[in-house]
Structure formats: structure tokens, C-alpha cells
Structure 1
């Protein structure tokens, strides 16, 4: 018993080197130590700082941490009512998705917590407002949204992000209250992101003078209405996705700071006419439309399934975009014969992906000839979709060669993803190797998608390949050994990527 008593009374080393006892830890006091420096240090609650510094510290916390701090600290309680970063999403509130019943409960909880947070906010000091509303309008009505926005959108707000997840296709679409941005309340906004709503701006919205980024997704807006935002001369980035009411998009020269334009799946769009003098990057996904982009463009990405964008680029870009430096094309449909009326004199990077199953890859040689400054060539092939003769079927046939005079003096890096045994692909690869005297890196990847592979350390298993794809990959390895290796100069860093033998073994 005495030994147990002694152990309980034994001094315990506390934080910061302080010595305390079990009795003191339970709340008892010791008169001889009441005024000791160590006890004062234990009772000290923190430095006496100006209120604005406490507010700044509070603003640096994440939403959940800031709310918790306000519950236990008087210093943070007052600043919670003017907390500046209201990012209210499932993630920031710690709500995780799941099956339908669980998701149903989460959506209602998200609406309830959103209402509670904004009811307790003074509306002053908000810099960022991001609302992610799930299953609208089942749990949140237009009146709710109007009330929440009117609380937070005040002069000084810099970012407004409203993301609505409609409960069904027939759900009522929210009409964004454009007058909310008038009277100086929109003057400070730098970034505006709206999703799944109706947005009808008027000429009065010229007050958005600080707007640098506009992102509209599944938003009902016409070209004329979008034109009212052309007075936002600070605009640098414009993204339009699934805006079905857009028929014509005209960008005036007034937008001198516009650098990046993204248009994705605006299926009724007919014309894109940009006069922005400093537009640098353009990404277009959808069916072919009439484009006029100006000669300042340097980076052009285009993707679509119903049009031959490769031929469109070859026939139109040399004259339309004479200063183009990077070209990225995804096209499901391609004709074999390329007609190139001019040269892309400044093009340094060319990336092409997706082809018709029987496409003659050797025809891409004429495109390479039209790019005298080309340094990087990246090609994506879908080997499981290729329908053409393998070079291994008749190895006695000679490879096709172009007449002398083809020289790619600037090509340094060539990457082919999904390299297979198709004869035309092997012929094109050999042609590049033989004529690119400045080649430094050559990568032949027999796997069409290396993003989901265990070798990168992020996944336990590689993405599953079909048996036919694994067999084709091993055919490609045989082709590399027979036709490619001997042609590659010793100065070239040559890399061949093959299927993972653990996740996708070849079974005979």
C-alpha cells in the first residue's frame, strides 16, 4: 500500500518543464505554490492582442476550426460574426457522401447548417462566399438562397461561388438576383462562378469593374446578356460550359486583359468571334463552329467527336493563327489525306489524340513537315480500337519511306502512348527517328493510360487491361525489338513502358 501511495505522490514532469502533482492535476491547490511563477504560467490564458489581430488569426482558420474556436473563446466569438471566408460545402462541414439514404440526410443537413451559419453572420467583412447546395430545390428554396446571398454579398466581397446541384432534370432553376451586384456590392468581386441557374445581366452590371475570372456552368444566358459584362475590363479568364442558350459569342477589343478562354459543350453555339488583343490560350470542346480568334493566340486546344479537327487545324490555322506555339487536338474522326496550305512556323508543341480505327498514321508526316520549329510531339493511340494490319503479319514487306528532304532539325522529345504493332504507326515512328537528328528523348508506351498504375506510388494496383490489350502490348514490345531499337541513336534517352507484370500478366 505504501508503495502505491508513493507512486501517486511522485512528482510528474508537465509541459514546458513544469513540475506538478496528481493532486494539482485533479484541481486541488497548494498554498506554498499559489503565487509561484510556474502556477501563474499555467493559469495564463494568452497574450493581450488587439482585436484586429485576433480577427486576422481567426480568418486564417478553416471554416470548421473557426466555428469550434468561436465556441470556446470569447476572443474568437465576436470575429465569428464577421468571419471572411464562408466556404460552405459538404467537405468543409465534414459531411461525407454515401448511398441514397445517407446522401438524402447529408443534403438536408447541409441546408440546415448553411442556414444556421448565415443567420448568425452579421454580413460584414465577407471576402469569399462559396455555397454548394445539393439536391436543390428539395432542401433549399429560392427564398433561402436570396436571403443567404443578401446577407453575405456586401461591398468588399471578392469571390462569389454558387454551385447548385439540381435534384432532377425537371427541378426549378434558380434565377440569380442580378440587382444584388448593383449599388457597389459587385464592384470588389474578382471571381464569379455560377452553376445551374439563370443569369440575366443587364447594362447596369458595369459595376463589376474588378472582375478577373468569370466561370459559368449550366447557366442560362444569351450572347447579348453576356455582352453586358464586356465592360469588365479587368477580365482575364472566361469559362463557359454547357450554356445552351449561347448562339453567338463576341468578345470586344475592350477586354485587353483577357488571356484565357474556355468553351465546353455549348451545343447551340455557332460563332466565336474574339477581338481581345492579348488572348493567349483557347480551349474548345464541342462540335466545329466558326472561329475568329486574332493573331495573338499562342496555345490552342480543341476536342470533339463529330468533326475532323486535325484537318480543320491543318487547313485553317496557318493563316488564322500565324503565331501559334502549342496545338493540342483530340478528334475521333479523321481522314487520311492531309491538305496543308501553309506552315505553322512558330509551333513548338504538337499533341494529337484519338483516331478512327483504320487511320493511316504515316499520313501525319506531312503535318510534321509543316511545323519547322516543332520541339515536342505527343501522340495518343487507343490500341484496343485500332483496326489495321499488324506489321508482324507480313514482316517481308518493306516499310514505307518518304522521298529525301525531310529533316526535323528541332524535334527533341517524342512520346507515343498506346504504341502498338499497327504497320502505319511503326512506319511513322521509324520515319521520325531517321529524320529527327536533334532527338533527345523517345518514349514508347505500350499502355494507353499510365495515370492509374501502381508504379507511380499512388495506387495499389494498375488499371485493368483486357487480355487482347495485354497481348497487343507484348506484340508492340516485339516490334520495338525488331524495328525500332537499332534505329535509335545512342545519344537518345530511349524509354519503353510495358504492362505491369504483377497487375496485368500475360496469360497463355
Structure 2
């Protein structure tokens, strides 16, 4: 759409220039009139079209505005515009964003074949970088495709060396799984080239020697995924990045001890996921307020300053029990807590409180989840959070093993010791007909005086007919057992919960799409 509007603007400007050139009294118009007398109409039209096809000068806009318009175009559109506009040709050589991928270069694997694509990819990237002056480049993204040959890594070094300049602010390098190993040349970030870098995102490469690494004084975000780097090398990198605000480390399996130095005064967000050899996370950054940790291996967390912690996400088995028993004393000022667990033993009743917790999200998604788990025990968590405003629960089970409410609907338990005066919104996703889950839902309905809305969602298709990416127009077929459980869940909601919901509460029940009935 951006290119279409641009071409319309250029067409309007061409028409205006023609009218001005042909206006009476205009010097250009008099010259044009004499020229017309000397040539035939066919010659005039042919010459005019040929000239416009060759290069359009562009409308009479200030150069800085013209460059700004060009910088907003995607790379492919910007390159096309540069081929027809003299005004854009100069700004193309200073385009602030270069994104190299099969999609951005318009490469089709079916048309060229893998061997041909690798050659075309290298040729196109090399040509664009040769045309680009390197001036004004802010963002460089290279998504190395799967058909790229490992023997061509020398080209990758050359591209990075050409593109990375003292003005570059963002660098993204993503490699697909290959047999070879690419070593990112950290020397490219030395000699002043890395001083302007604000964001580095590396995927599937190695980062080894940090001896020649210069000061990354502008780096505010570092994202490493599947990067072969040791804990010592990462620590050296961090010590050269004193402005860092956000650190994300995912599946970097060579790290045994992740140490975040106290020199990182600006660091507020830390994310560590996976890492098969990871044993210790030692954070000394004093102002960390958001922490996300995921992984089932037994990792020792050493978080020196936890009073600043406002948002915490834990993804590992037993996280609900761990959070309830450990966090109130460790992180008393938590505001938002997200827990994802595949195995749980139950949530104990304790005297400790989450006095400031306002948002709680729990996902229990074991396959199958422990049939002995008591969902009603989560009421103990709610009771410990007097300021809680939103509660989201996901209880996905491919095969429901809990006692069904339809098997035993007698003696429904109640917890009448507490009332919730702040809880406003509750969502339970993948609702099932487990008796203890019905009991938990009734507890929320009956003991919450502030409740405004409740959403209960039965299991749904993985890909729904309403999804934007679904071109078939139909929901992805659900497994028969899952579909039957979804129907039992809806029946349990209608029979046991809906009659108890006060008229002041907005109840939304999401059923499976009718596509699954066929």
C-alpha cells in the first residue's frame, strides 16, 4: 500500500509539472512549444515516455522530507522506487534499514532450486551492500536461509564487515540449523563500530573470544538464542555493556553459571530459558524488576536484590508450590506473577501473603496432568493475595483423568473462610468437567464480591476458522476425545456454574466452533 500511494503522488506531480511547462508565458513552455513544432507527435510522446521510464526526477519536496518518506518503505519497495526516481536513488544508498531474507529478496525455492537460491541470495545481498554507502544504516537484519551453504560463511563475514558502521544501532543475525558452525567475529564490534549498537540479537552461532571486544556503551538489549557461549564469555560481554536494560538468554547450553555483575545498574529485565547444563543464576544487578525463568533442571537462583522485583515468570514443574511457599518472603512486592507447570503436588494453606500481587496467571498443562491434583487448592493462592485483580488459569489436558463432576456431584466442597474484595476478572481456559475445577470456579463465583466478568473457555481447535492465517476457512479437526470433553465441560458450566453467577457479573462461555460438528 505504501508503494501504491507513493506512485500516485509521483504521477500527480508529473501532471502538475507538465501543466506548468505548457502554461502561457512560461519560458519552459515557450521552449516546449518550439520543440513540438520541430518533431512529430509520435516522436514527442515516445521521447517523453522513454525519458520518464529511464528516471523520474521526483516531486519538488525538501530533501530531508523526501528521504524520510523513502525510509518508511519496506526494503523491496524502497529498492523499486530507487530504480524509477532520481530523488530516491540517493536516499536508497543511505536507507536506514536493510533486511536480508528469502522473503525480503523475493526468492522462491520452487522456481530456482536450493543450489540456485544460495547463489542468488549471495549475489543479491552483495549487490545491495555494494550499492549502499553505509551512511545512515541504523538496522541490519540477516536471516540466513536453510539452503545457504556453510562454505559461504566467508560471504557472511564480508557482509557484516561492510554493513556494520559506527552509526549502526540494531543487529539481528539468525541462522537456521546447519551442520557447520559459524563464529560471530566479535572484532566487528571493536574499533568504534560497536559504540552505537543498541540491540544485538544472535541465533545459532558461536561467540567465543571476548578479548578484543570494545566498549558497547550504547547497548540496551541483548538477546542470545542457541548461541554457543560460555558463562565466562557472557560475563565479559556484560561487563562491556554498562547501559544494558534487557538481557535474554535462551537455550545456550554451554553456560553452567550465569553471573550478572553488579555494574549493570540499568538492567531491569532478565530472561533465562533452557540451558541443559545451567546450574546457577547469580544476579547482582541491583535494579532488576522483571525476571523470567524456564527449565526443568534444578537451577539454584541467587537473586541478591529482590525487593525491587515486580514481575516474575517461572516455567518449570512444581512452580506453583515453589511460588506459594518461597516467594512471599523472597519477593514481597510482586505485582504480576505467571506460573507454568507440568506437575504439581498441591497448593498448601499458609499464613504468608502476597500483599501487592494484582495479576496472577497459572498454566497447568501436563500430558496428562497429575490426576491427583486438587484444583480447589488454588483457592489458597487466591486467599493469600488480597489485592488480586485478575486471575487467569489454563488447565489443558489432552486426556482428562480427574474425577468428573458427572461421576460424583455430591458433597461439593466450599471454602467459606475468605472473601475476595479486589478480584474483578477471571478467565479459565480449556475448562474441563473435573469436579475439583468446578468447585474452584464456584468458590470464585460465590466468595468474590468485586467480580465483574468471568470467561470460561472449553477446549478449542488448534487453528480456528476465524484465525487470520487460516486460509481454508474451517477449523482444524479436533481429536474426538477432546471434542467430547469440550462438550461435557460446556454441560458442566450450564448445569452447575451458570445458575450461581450473579446478574451483576458478565459471564462469557466459549464453546467449540460448529465446524467440528461435521
Q: What is the TM-score normalised by the length of structure 2?
A: 0.82
- Partners of 1:276 and 1:200 lie apart in 2 by 24
Select the residue among 88, 98, 104 that pairs with 1:86.
98
Conserved 8 A contact 1:281-1:299: yes
Q: 2:383 aligned with 1:369, yes or no? A: yes
CA offsets 1:388-435 (integer angstroms, 9 cap, x no match): 22111233x210123x32111111111111112111111111112111
CA shift at 1:283, angstroms? 1.8
Q: Give secondary structure in 1 for the equivalent of 2:481.
A: helix
Conserved 8 A contact 1:137-1:166: no
- Partners of 1:240 and 1:419 lie apart in 2 by 33
CA shift at 1:278, angstroms? 2.5
- Partners of 1:325 and 1:187 lie apart in 2 by 35
Distance change in 2, residues 1:98/1:499 (3 Å): farther
What are the within-5 Å matches in structure 2 for residues 34-433 of structure 1? 45-47=57-59, 55-96=67-108, 102-135=113-146, 138=149, 141-167=152-178, 171-200=179-208, 202=210, 205-228=213-236, 229-287=238-296, 288-293=298-303, 294-304=306-316, 307-336=317-346, 338=348, 340=350, 342-355=352-365, 356-358=369-371, 359-395=373-409, 397-402=410-415, 404-433=416-445
CA shift at 1:214, angstroms? 0.7
CA shift at 1:67, angstroms? 2.3
CA shift at 1:492, angstroms? 0.5
Conserved 8 A contact 2:431-2:489: yes
- Partners of 2:125 and 2:300 lie apart in 1 by 44
Q: What corresponds to 1:10 in structure 2?
A: none
CA offsets 1:292-324 (integer angstroms, 9 cap, x no match): 3322111111213xx311111112111111111
What are the within-5 Å matches in structure 2 for residues 439-450 of structure 1? 439-448=451-460
Q: What corresponds to 1:3 in structure 2?
A: none
The two structures, once aligned, show a CA RMSD in angstroms of 3.2
Distance change in 2, residues 1:426/1:320 (3 Å): same
- Partners of 1:156 and 1:16 lie apart in 2 by 39
- Partners of 1:474 and 1:60 lie apart in 2 by 49
* Count of matched residue pairs: 472
Conserved 8 A contact 2:173-2:202: yes
Distance change in 2, residues 1:166/1:456 (3 Å): closer
Distance change in 2, residues 1:156/1:346 (3 Å): same
Q: Give secondary structure in 2 for the equivalent of 1:197.
A: coil
- Partners of 1:98 and 1:345 lie apart in 2 by 59
Conserved 8 A contact 2:117-2:147: no
Q: Structure 1: any 5+ residue segments left out of the alignment? A: 1-13, 20-28
CA shift at 1:95, angstroms? 2.3
Conserved 8 A contact 2:71-2:78: yes
Distance change in 2, residues 1:78/1:401 (3 Å): closer
Q: What is the TM-score normalised by the length of structure 1?
A: 0.84
Q: What corresponds to 1:25 in structure 2?
A: none
Q: Structure 2: any 5+ residue segments left out of the alignment? A: 1-13, 20-34
Conserved 8 A contact 1:137-1:172: no
Conserved 8 A contact 1:315-1:339: no
Q: Give secondary structure in 2 for the equivalent of 1:151.
A: helix
Distance change in 2, residues 1:457/1:61 (3 Å): closer
Q: What corresponds to 1:472 in structure 2?
A: 485
CA shift at 1:458, angstroms? 6.5
